[in-house]
Amino acid sequence: MNEPAPSATARPLLLVDDDATFVRVLGRALASRGFEVISATNPGDALALARRHQPRHCVLDLKLGDENGLRLIPELHGLVPDMCILLLTGYASIATAVEAIKRGAHDYLAKPVDADAVVRALLDGEGTAEGEDEELPDAPEAPLALRRLEWEHIQRVLTECDGNISETARRLGMHRRTLQRKLGKRPVRERPHSDG
C-alpha cells in the first residue's frame, strides 16, 4: 500500500473517541496512510464536524463517556448519507453487531485495534457494493466481520421460524424484501486466522 486509495483523500475521515490519547495516536497513524483526519471526543463536536466537512469515513467508538456511539450512527447518516462508519468496541457481541448494522454501521472491530486493520475495514466496506470478494491479509485474532455476524444471526432466527421469511423479518424488525435481499447474498467469509 504505497499510495493511498483515491477515495481516502477525496474527503476527510472523522475519528470519534472520548480517549484523547487514542484519538491522537490513531489519527496520526491514519494520516500517514493517506487520510485527512478530523477528530472529536464527544457527540456534539462529531455532529458539528460531520455537518461542516461531510467526511466520507467515520471511525466511531461504542462508548463515548456516558453516551453510546450506536445512537450517533443514524444522526451521522442523516448529515452525510454515504458515510462509511466503522464502529470500534471493547465489548464485541452479536447483539451489538446486529444493532450497529441495523443503525447503519458498515463494519466493526474489537479494541485494541491497529491502523492497518481500520484501513482494511473501511476500504473493504466500500468494495462490497460492487460485489468484490478480495482476500483480506492475515490478521491475528481478527473478529468476524459485522456482515458475517449479521448473516449468522439471520440464519439462527430463520431456523427458529422454520424457514418462514415473513415471521423472521418481523422478529428481526426489518422489511421482508430487505431480508430476502440479505438472504440472496452469500455469507461473508471469515478472515483467516494465523497459527502464530
* Cβ(82)–Cβ(55) below 8 Å: no
Do residues 28 and 116 share a domain? yes
Domain of 164: which CATH number?
1.10.10.60
Do residues 122 and 150 share a domain? no
Average pLDDT estimate for 151-169: 82
pLDDT at residue 192 greater than cutoff 60:
no
For residue 72, the Cα-to-chain-centroid distance in whole angstroms is 13
pLDDT tens readout for residues 22-49: 999 999 999 999 999 999 999 999 999 9
The residue among 144, 189, 152, 195 whose CA lies nearest residue 172 is 152
Please report which confidence band the pLDDT of residue 123 belongs to, taking 50, 70 and 90 as the band edges. confident
* Cβ(61)–Cβ(18) below 8 Å: yes
pLDDT at residue 99 greater than cutoff 60:
yes
Do residues 47 and 13 share a domain? yes
Residue with the larger pLDDT of the pair 154 and 39:
39
Total domain count, the chain: 2
Is position 66 within any domain?
A: yes
Residue with the larger pLDDT of the pair 48 and 143:
48
* Cβ(162)–Cβ(131) below 8 Å: no
| Domain span holding position 41 | 8-129
Do residues 58 and 109 share a domain? yes
Do residues 120 and 164 share a domain? no
Question: Cβ neighbours of residue 163 under 8 Å, at least 6 residues apart?
Answer: none
Do residues 74 and 38 share a domain? yes
Residue where one domain finishes, among candidates 129, 160, 175: 129
Which helix H or strand E contains 64, and what residues bound it? Answer: strand 63-64
* Cβ(21)–Cβ(29) below 8 Å: no
d(C-alpha 160, C-alpha 60), whole Å: 33
Do residues 12 and 37 share a domain? yes
Do residues 60 and 114 share a domain? yes
**pTM of the predicted model, to two decimals?**
0.62
pLDDT of residue 7: 42
Is position 75 within any domain?
A: yes
DSSP readout, 95-143? HHHHHHHHHT--EEEESS--HHHHHHHHHHHHHGGGT--PPPPP-TTPP
Do residues 118 and 159 share a domain? no
